[in-house]
């Protein structure tokens, strides 16, 4: 009787260990949230910080090294695990000119504890409701479409545009007055 009960105890212990091992197969999303906040220098919900926590339904393989965070790039931070090949985009809250433009010149890293130099206000070349030409392409091809701006934007800023009131917004970078382009086409 003692032998059977010890085997049952050992089997029960093994079944309790398996869920803990299964949790370690996925990346810690709280760690990703804190890495993004440290990199951009602003906490969740603050101007320049993450707009929301990483979606908890996301199941990324656990990165053997610390994931790298780049950004802000077109209004988001890019989190990447080079060893496993996954990469996610974490949207950032707009409104912080120092955080949205990246590191300050002459500073190794910009964060909320560094003092930003006074920034001259940018003149908006696109106003909310203006018709804009959306460009996409590279040196081999180009595609354009007329859209409507959902928000004001200065040269180089990323704004939302849409085809009509019912369509989903698209993020585009202001290139010149009345012209925006889709980010990602670097040689255009």
Span 143-182, pLDDT tens digits = 888 999 999 999 889 999 999 888 899 999 998 888 898 8
Inter-residue contact 132 to 153 (CB < 8 Å): no
Phi/psi region, residue 103 (left: phi>0; alpha: psi -120 to 50; beta: rest), is beta
pLDDT value for 9: 54
Q: Which domain does 167 fall in, by range?
A: 124-181
Judge contact between 57 and 50, C-beta under 8 A. no
What CATH number did the domain enclosing 161 receive?
2.30.30.760
Report the pLDDT value the prediction gives residue 40, as an integer from 0 to 100.
Answer: 85
Calpha distance 52→54 (Å, rounded):
6
Question: Based on the domain organization, do 74 and 129 belong to the same domain?
Answer: no
Its pTM stands at: 0.42
> 110 in a domain, yes or no?
no
Residue 143 covered by a domain: yes
For residue 18, pLDDT over 50 is answered with: no
């Amino acid at each position: 009787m003692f032998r059977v009960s010890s085997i049952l105890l050992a089997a029960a212990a093994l079944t309790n260990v398996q869920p803990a091992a299964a949790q370690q197969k996925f990346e810690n999303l709280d760690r990703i949230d804190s890495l993004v906040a440290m990199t951009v220098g602003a906490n969740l919900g603050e101007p320049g910080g993450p707009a929301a926590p990483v979606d908890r339904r996301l199941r990324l393989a656990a990165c053997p090294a610390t994931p790298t965070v780049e950004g802000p790039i077109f209004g988001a931070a890019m989190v990447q695990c080079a060893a496993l090949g996954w990469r996610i985009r974490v949207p950032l809250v707009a409104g912080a000119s120092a955080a949205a433009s990246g590191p300050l010149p002459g500073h190794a890293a910009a964060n909320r504890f560094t003092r930003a130099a006074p920034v001259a206000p940018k003149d908006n070349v696109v106003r909310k409701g203006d018709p804009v030409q959306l460009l996409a392409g590279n040196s081999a091809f180009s595609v354009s479409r007329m859209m409507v701006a959902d928000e004001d934007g200065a040269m180089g800023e990323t704004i939302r545009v849409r085809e009509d009131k019912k369509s989903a917004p698209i993020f585009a970078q202001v290139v010149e007055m009345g012209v925006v382009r889709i980010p990602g086409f670097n040689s255009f």
